[in-house]
Amino acid sequence: MLKTKNLFLSGFLLALCFVLLFSFSGCGYVKCAWVQFKVDDGKVVYTSDMYGSINSHIKYYESNEDFENGDEAITISFSPRILGADTRNGEETTTVELTKSNIIFVTLYKSHSTYSAEKSFYLNGEKLIPDEGYTTETANIISMSFSNFKFKQGNPNGRENDVINIIEYK
């Protein structure tokens, strides 16, 4: 009888540990937003590099040939971090951890036809204004950051009819 009680108690504690572990990982505990870079053509790749230190979180290639050559037209990273690529509403996205100080970092490569001095970045239809003093321009590259915006929080339990934050360059 004592052995059965110990076995039951051990099983209960193990189950409790799993519930707590999953509650504090991913988007169970952390507030998240799902973000997609919307384009009409080309190839968008969502990486799983949590902090974007090696790779950007989103890479846009104008063609499959550019993708095969590793020749990005636009790269996008998020701070503080992403929680990985995910599918929401049947769409590829990246999962961004929400904090009070989210930042979007963008690099544009001027050698691509995507680049235009007249274009801007938009989040959910609203024009993003680059942070003052954090835009760098060289002959071939423009890098900028955006911090004055709000992501819409997604539902960690739903995959259909969930909120997807759309970034566009138009």
Residue 83 makes CB contacts below 8 A (sequence gap 6+) with 26, 27, 30, 32, 50, 95, 96, 97
pLDDT band for position 107 (cuts 50, 70, 90): very high
Check residue 1 and give its pLDDT.
52
Per-residue pLDDT for 7 more than 60? no
Report the domain count for the chain.
2
Task: Residue 23: give the domain boundaries.
Answer: 1-30
Q: Give yes or no for residue 10 having a pLDDT over 50.
A: no
The pLDDT tens digits for 117-152 are 999 999 999 999 999 988 999 999 999 999 999 999
Q: Do residue 160 and residue 102 come from a single domain?
A: yes
In a shared domain, residues 132 and 55: yes
* Whether residue 36 is found in the same domain as residue 116: yes
Is the same domain home to 35 and 19?
no
62-88 residue pLDDT tens: 999 999 999 999 999 999 888 889 989
26 to each of 8, 19, 50, how far by Cα in Å? Answer: 29, 13, 12
The SS3 call for residue 71 is coil
Would you state the torsion angle of the CA atoms of residues 132, 134, 135, 139, taken in this order, to the nearest 10 degrees?
140
Residues 54 and 135 in one domain: yes
Q: In this predicted structure, what is the pLDDT of residue 89?
A: 87
Which pTM was predicted?
Answer: 0.81
Residues 23 and 78 grouped into a single domain: no
